[in-house]
Every structure is written in structure tokens, then in C-alpha cells.
Amino acid sequence: MQAAIALLLLLLTSCSAHAQSMPAEFIDAATVVDGLVIDMRYFGADNFVGKRIDGYEAPRCLLTRPAATALAAAQRDLARRGLGLKVYDCYRPARAVAQFARWARDVADVARKPDYYPDVDKRDLFRLGYIAERSGHSTGSAVDLTLVDLKADNSASFDPAKPYADCTANVNLRAPEGSVDMGTGYDCSDVKAHTGAKQISSNQRRWRDKLVLLMARRGFVNYSKEWWHFSLPGAGGQAYDFPIQKSQ
């Protein structure tokens, strides 16, 4: 009987989560950020888990209106320099955060270790701050992004059949990002991916500094262990779990 009740509660909770709709304070960032490049990694299999993540039913960058407006201002700042923004992740449903936590605890699943955390024991991902039980992404106030040189050839794309080097390797050996060379790939769990890492070239340092300064001018704060992660203080509070769906 207890097992049946537990199953019923689980089903009701799941139905409730899927029934949630996007709150009025959220918008599709692409509708206000001119020329925003979308590369939503959790919508596909090109990520550290190796498959589409729960709640990602469409490749959309959803953010609170203040965060999207600030991002639009950053994009305008860049346009004058022949640069643009590419987003890897924006709003992240709470169910996706929970999936990451489950994945991190499954120490037997190390299929993507050679690509995303080659020098880190998976059991240390929580302790080192690469995986967390909660995420600011779920409030709609955080975004993972990089810079794109609009004058460069950014056509290279991920090919699952190719044997790429790990995320810390030379840019010509690791999986293509279609962006400037920041020294590591996106979602690389390694000290080299820390924003202030010393193990990168002077040119990679200039790109990181440019990104941090650009985002700071519009109120965003960087997470020191991920050069790509920025949050806008005060732009979100509650963590949400509505799925990312196609626009109606």
C-alpha cells in the first residue's frame, strides 16, 4: 500500500511539474537580443551527460525580462566591434538540475569523462563546485555564453563520429565551439576553465577579460570556476521547473 501511495504522489508531482507554464516575467531572449546565436547544449547530446536533458523540449534561451534586457545591451556593445554573443544555456528547469545531481552521484557513468572532466575524479565534482544541488539558472537570471567573432568562419559543428581531444586541449583538436578560443570548451570541469586560470595563453586571457568586462558593465557577475557563467543579481528569486517548449 505504501509503495502504491508513493507511486501516486510521484505521478501527481510529475504531472504538476509538466503542467507549469512559462511565467509572465520570462521572455525568449532571442526576441530582444538582435543576432543572438543559440547553441543550447542540453537540448541535444553534445554535453557532459551525453543525452538530451530533462525539460529541454526546444532550443530556446528563456530569461527574466531584466536579464534579457541586460543581455541585449551587452550585444549592442559588441556589435560595434564586429563581435556577438552565443548562448549555451539560459533558464534551466529544476528537473534538469536534479538530473545533473543524479548523474554526478552515479560514479559508474563516466562515458564523457575523457571529454569534459579528464583530470577530475567524478566523485569530486560536487566538492570542487562543478555540480550543485541548486542553480541560479532555474531563476531565469543566469546565462552560459561566449563571444563570437562575426568576421570569422564559425561554420564548424560537433560531429559525434569524430574522435576529439578533451575540453582542455588545443582549440584545433577539441570539439568545435563556433566561437573565439577561450582556452577550454564549454562545461569543462577543470582548473583551466576557471576564469582566472594561469594555464591559458595571453590571447585567451584577453578574450576572457573582454567577456567579463562586457558583462560586468551590464550588471552580470561571473562565476570564478566557469569562464562562461554569468548571473544578474536581483533579476530572479524563485527557482522554476516549467519545461522549455516551442513558442506558440
Residues carrying an active site annotation: 226
Give the C-alpha distances (Å, rounded to integers) separating 51 from 55, 60, 74, 153, 181.
12, 17, 31, 27, 25
Torsions phi, psi for 26 (to 5 deg)? -95, 145
- Cα–Cα distance, 63 to 248 (Å, whole number): 17
Torsions phi, psi for 148 (to 5 deg)? -125, 130
Q: Specify the DSSP element, H or E, that contains 72.
A: helix 65-79
Cβ count within 10 A of residue 213: 10
Which residues have a Cβ under 8 Å from the Cβ of 184 and sit 6 or more positions away?
Answer: 167, 168, 190, 192, 193, 200, 227
Cβ count within 10 A of residue 176: 16
- Cα–Cα distance, 145 to 87 (Å, whole number): 4
